[in-house]
Chains A and B, each alone.
Chain A
Amino acid sequence: MGLLSDPNRRRALIGMLTRLNAPICLVCYMAGVAWFMGLAFEPFTLRTYMSENAMGSTMVEERFPSGEAALATGREFAAHKKKAGGMPVDWLVRTMQSKGLEVFTQRFSRKLPFPDENKERYMVKGYNVYGILRAPRAPRTEALVLSAPCSPGNDNNQAVGLLLGLAQYFRSQIYWAKDIIFLVNEHDLIGMQAWLEGYHHTNTTGMDWSPLQGRGGSIQAALSLELSSDVVTSLDLVLEGLNGQLPNLDLANLFYAFCQKIGVLCTIQGKLPRNDWDTTSGYSHAVQTMMLMVLKQASGRPWGDHGLFLRYHIEAASIKGVNSFRQYKTDATTVGRLMEGMYRKLNNLLERLHQSYFFYLMPSLSRFVSIGYYMPAFGLLAVILLLRALDLWVQLSSPPTRTEDDGTEVVPSSPGVLSILTPLVISHLTGVALYTLPILSQETAVEHFPVSETEAVVLTAIAIYTAGLALPHNTHRLLSGEGTEQGWKVLKLVAVLYLAVLLGCTALINFSLGFILALTLVPLAAFITPHVPKALSAFLMVVLSPGCTLLFAVFFFQELQETPVSVQEGWMLFLSVISQGILDHALYGSLVYPLVALLVYPCWLLFWNILFWK
């Protein structure tokens, strides 16, 4: 740092940074994107390995024998479900009791802020049924959870059947050291949310539930099973939870180890691992897998019933049975043995899973990228903002230039606090409006326009978002004088630093979201001044705004999932994604919607303001 202490050298360094600012920024951006793309390249990634010694390689035997009986139970469950028109509570209670579990039920109800058109629900009422297998000679201090959703229609009957079969088999074993809770939850995540809040006696989202009667102490790990066919070709592991939280990597390792041991095809993001990393198609396969994970994580929503456990520091994952048209099939007994093996290993745990990584990306199930490897990609993007801020700072603090023509010193009036504060306050007020108005004004909107509640909410959100574009005019009306050259520079300095802090914090919590936002917002923040061509820049800004990022992400996600959609379908999907985001926030406390509405969007508006600075 002698470099900075010496004024001459400091001047030289700063001079170079300001002179070469644009090229350096460009290089950083390219390097950041290239680094990110390189993460999926196999030689740069690490092979997964089990860090937890208590779950060492193959110390358990899997002997679960009764897959067929479990499927029969599943069919019986389906029949009772059809008869009851929902959760067959009495039948489940009786069945679980006959298998020797302590059985309890929980009733819950929830009125959604507006109807959910995807799942067709508004007033949700339901029951959770759970049975606790008490571990012999254990003092009820630790528990594991196995859950299966009671889905409408014909889904997941096999999962419930297998859950009951496993319960019966587990009950006759002596080796359990932790209680095992077998949970059948209705209304997928809403039921799970009610159960978890009841178990931990918290109420974060204003749901109405009846208190739980039986508990098993602190839950160490949870798995959620989804199975809709008697045989499966592969098992898919879902890790992404609420707000982009991920379970400890050892849970994924455990699943992978048992798939290898038992010989079941296993996938992540529905993609099989491939060995041809040195070919272009192999590499692009890995990139696709990783990008799917990034997009799912960035969405901040739970991608399986396990997602809500993570808030309570419970390591959890969902296992989904996939039945495609491949030849090789796996029967329910094998799936049961896999679950048995995993539970026996989890039962051996002496401590919570903590040895392995909590922050990672997976380009395939056997490879991972740890936080130390992916953070530089974001760092390279974030440094651009700091460089631009430095440039602006130097411009602002450099001695006033002598104008050649009249020889007098132009003393630039230092911009008043108001000229900075006004756009800041107004853009944040717009953000608050975007956050609150869609739900508040749905009734008014439904009265005046021929739309449903859901459409009303989404369209109000889009309307407010678009109305924000008219903001510069309103801001200027409030400002007393003309905006000065100094004024926009100070405003941009504030906005750039604001964005840097915002993205930095976001990336620490949810790397994917932070990176995607940085990818679009950083170039925009870097080049915007009032002097660039207005029309073209405005178009670019709108394209790079958070809303359009979401639209592109929807198309991109569909493309990656190999289910491309037309523009019309894509738009409908976009609308439903917005409504889901708002619902996720209201129901489970997902933070993406408030983050975008209250912070990212106002920040983007500041740049929009700079573009139309007068």
Chain B
Amino acid sequence: MPEYERWSEARTNAIIAEHAGEPGATLPILHALQEVFGHVPVEAEPLVAAALNLSRAEVHGIVTFYHDFRRHAPGRHVLRLCRAEACQAAGGEALATEVRRRHGIDWHATTPDGALTLEPVFCLGLCACAPAAMLDGEVLGRLDEATLDEALECVA
């Protein structure tokens, strides 16, 4: 289970400083922020902008352009379920419907107890062992209700 730090300006500036010298540093910085905080807090945007000599609007535009960057902290566990064609062909949509029903959440939502966030993903490259998913960074293939339930035991 990933542990995220509470947002702090000092920590954010330290992360930014680690990468600011690289050419095209924006994505490396945003990835690093999300890894530490679990999301890219809106408070971080002006700091990134100042460090990279961009406008805040530009940084906001970049953060919101990419599907990966979360605006809010996720639940304790994150399930990224593949919704692309190969997984569709192998029953992925039915599996997704069942997960949403059972946990009472839609895509991008977190269960009220903060245990699980469900996110769609469009291809993990596990298309020959579909349907596939990623749970807290662990890859899962050949999923069905039983195997997914087993993997999600940690959430209960």
A binds B: no
